[in-house]
Structure 1
Amino acid sequence: MEESEPVSPTGQYFTSSVISVSVVAVLESQHPIDDSQTTSLLRHVFLPINPRFSSVMVKDKNGVKHWKKVEVKLQDHVKVPTFPQGKSPDFYDGCFSDYLSKVAIDQLPLTKPLWEIHIVKYPTTTAAGNVVFKLHHALGDGYSLMGALLSCLQRADNPAIPLTFPAFNAKTEARRADRSVCGSLGRAVSGVINTVCDFGWSLLKSSAIEDDVTPVRSGDEGVEFRPITISTLTFSIDEIKQVKASLGVVSASIFLPV
């Protein structure tokens, strides 16, 4: 990547003095983790995926941020935490939760490429080991970053075959194609109205109307400087289907970032 390539406006905003946003992903392993090949995999598989994984942000004389290619010191990006030995999985659940919260709140140094990998070798109640990926949002959006991580993985049954995911339901797509023109026009008009209403409501919320106090939003001053913790909640497929049926939405609409 050339030094002259500027950082996107979104990337500059996510690395401003006001906000710093990172994506944290956890990969659970069914087997104890062997990290002997970590350096080789990162250098030959992970880094070539995206030039930004081996670049840092620099400012030109006008204060505009650009990506600059640098030599990556992998040992500075791979962390292997140490917990007390010989404890139970329940004990390591607490250790891992506390460690994950610390990883989430610590900011990535801008003097190095904006990513880290944390290899947790201790067994929890849900996995024999965990790999935590922390990537700054300036590197890309969630879709591209997840695509980069998934491209590093291989199938257990046959590594030569690329990863596959369930395809769209052909019958559902056919039914959508058979809908009438009037129905399509109605949906288009409804979409325009909803967009205008949502945009107007967003303007009011950002300028004149204050958000309600909720269990998520306390309304207290300086809440962004308080310690945070990460909690997890597991839903079964049946529970997701029940919520989906009750709300009348697709499965992807059930999960919202908080």
Structure 2
Amino acid sequence: MPLTFPSRQSNSKPNRHSQGFLRHINRFFSGLINTAYDIGCNLLKSSLIEDDKSPIRSGHGVECGPFAITTTTFSIEHIKQIKTKLQVTVNDVITGVIIFGTRLYMQRANQDSSKGNCTALVLLNTRAIGGYKSVSEMIKPNAEMPWGNRFAFLQVSIPNLTASELNNPLKFVYKASQLIKRQRNSAAVYLTGQFLDAMTKIRGPEATARYIYGKLNNSSLMISNMIGPVEQMSLANIPIKGLYFTVPGIPQSLQLTIVSYVEKLRIVMSVEKGFIDPNKFKSCIEYAFEAISKAALE
């Protein structure tokens, strides 16, 4: 009677199960570590730790000061081509462009500032969206979608600009992709939103406003985005060529807001007037996009 041996398929099945189990375990523990680290950094950033003064951070509250606003527009189809070529997401590409362009401006203004401690706060909407609700429904106790804003901050450290990154701008896109993936494996955003809600209920909206102000004041820039209409709008039968939004009253010298509209993506740069040159900053963002596009597609 011939000897029989177990097939490879029967051995590979438990191996696949064990590998999948180990991946889940690793992801779980790395998520715990990322969450603890992010929450600790968020608390310290709002009270003790602040970014270095740099060409994009004057270091004093400028919420009531004059600001200059400039915009630039990119093709969403072009961004998708870069995304497909690099196998990343649209957010990765845009974040890489902003990080690279910001560091370029800092380096051109002050060579040493390109290695300074610089943090971006990404404003995220955590409000549940489940269709239209009237005001009377939203103000009811324990409403499914209660009245008021629901948001949280995602803290992103901007990588330094070195000679290797300057010669290979795609590194900024890949670094942005790594940062975003790491933040996704963290419950810090959800817990931060819950923390802000609890603080508002216990200590009142003034305490929450002071906490948010401290976090903004200690960081270098703010980034926020929203999805706009995919079809052209009109007002009084006059076609609207473009639109954008900005966040007034923040203490930072630089904020960038992003909105899509009819296959175009507009980046709005709101800068402290007399401190940041809006035209030079805009040219750095546009150069960063061109450099990343050329490196990715050619």
The bucket for the TM-score relative to the shorter chain is under 0.3
TM-score (norm 1): 0.25
Give the number of the structure whose residues are more often helix, by fraction. 2
Structure with higher RCO (Cα < 8 A, 6+ apart): 2
TM-score norm. by structure 2 comes to 0.22
